[in-house]
Amino acid sequence: MLELMLPALVVSLILVGIHGYLGIHIIARGVIFVDLALAQVAALGWAAASLGLSGALSGWLGIPPAEAGYAIGLAATLVAAALFSISRMEHEYVPQEAIIGIVYVVASAGTILLAAQAPRGSEHVAELLSGSLLWVTWPEIVKTGVIYAIIGAIHWSLRDRFITISIRPDEAQRKGWSVASWDFLFYALFGVVVTSSVAIAGVLVVFSFLVIPAVIAFLFTNQPGRLLAIAWSAGTIATVAGLYGSYQTDLPTGPTVVCAFALALVLAFVVKRFGMRSAARPVAG
């Protein structure tokens, strides 16, 4: 079991680390489905790469096909990131979530159309959705860890700006900051993370890693340090439980991990509900 599941466990914990942090920003911004949209855009780029675009780009730039495929997925994600950064506007009838939903639907339709032209297209779409955690290699894990470490360092150095813009955008505007420019940097870094994650874990798992630990954390606190600690703890426990359950039941790893995260969320709601009742119960005296 250890030999089979250890690479999947290590890469999953790396994903939980970066997505748990980014998820707090996403929940605070109120753009819950931005990860799903960017992940689907990345999947569209990977689908385009599978049709031979990566081979053409590889020959043109002289880089390996795998890196060319990654470049296509990242380019598509950065275009979406630019759109999201300029769509964060105050409008009576057009919320940013509407733009995010449109991007997701169009990217999903494009992925299906591209996959329909490729051999084993349905299998390719299924892999983009649920990922291939069990087949990740140690070189991929090291590469992913290095990329996320760099992005984490950038976020740490700019944490005051990112936190202010995510939680208090009006204050950022009063200070004269270019919110659109900072938003683009945030979404561009986010896009790099998502592009790498989708190639390993798939759209559904990536969305679960991002949103569910952050939601669990916000159930109990709104303090940044505690939010991060709870999100990482919940994500780690759910990941280990999902991988173990997948091994024991011989079920697909990605969907099993997603269900484990959903169960963790349900348990968190139960703990929160009964915790509130216990706190409100008068003490006999």
- The pLDDT-based confidence of 122 (bands split at 50, 70, 90) is low
Query: Quick one: pLDDT band at residue 95, thresholds 50, 70, 90?
Result: confident
- Higher pLDDT: 242 or 166? It is 242
pLDDT at residue number 129: 74
Q: What is the pLDDT of residue 285?
A: 47
Answer yes or no: are the C-beta atoms of 128 and 43 closer than 8 Å. Answer: yes
Mean pLDDT of the chain: 82
Residue 278: the pLDDT is 60
DSSP letters along 230-255, please? HHHHHHHHHHHHHHHHHHHHT--HHH
The answer to whether residue 14 scores a pLDDT higher than 90 is yes
Show me where the domains of the chain are located. Answer: 2-273
Lowest-confidence segment of 13-27, 90-104, 208-222 by average pLDDT: 90-104
Between 182 and 52, residue with greater pLDDT:
182
Average pLDDT over residues 135-164: 90
Instruction: Tell me what pLDDT residue 201 has.
Output: 87
Instruction: Return the closest-CA partner of residue 134 out of 50, 262, 19, 257.
Output: 257
At residue 69, the pLDDT reads 65
Tell me which of 14 and 93 has the higher pLDDT: 14
More confident residue, 33 or 262: 262
Contact present, 203 and 104 (Cβ < 8 Å): no
pLDDT for res 239? 95
Q: What is the per-residue pLDDT across 242-279, written as a single tens digit (0 to 9) for each?
A: 999 999 998 888 899 999 999 999 999 999 888 766 65
Mean pLDDT of 117-131: 69
Q: Is 265 in contact with 238 (CB distance < 8 Å)? A: no
**Whole-number Å distance between alpha carbons of 81 and 73:** 12
Provide the token pair at 5: 């599941």
| Whether pLDDT at 217 is above 60 | yes
48 or 272: which carries more pLDDT confidence? 272
The confidence score (pLDDT) of residue 147 equals: 92
| DSSP calls for 60-119 | HHT--HHHHHHHHHHHHHHHHHHHHHH-----SS--HHHHHHHHHHHHHHHHHHHHHTST
2-273 carries CATH number 1.10.3470.10: yes
Report the candidate in 146, 249, 73 with the shortest Cα–Cα distance to residue 257.
249
pTM: predicted TM-score of the whole model, two decimal places: 0.82
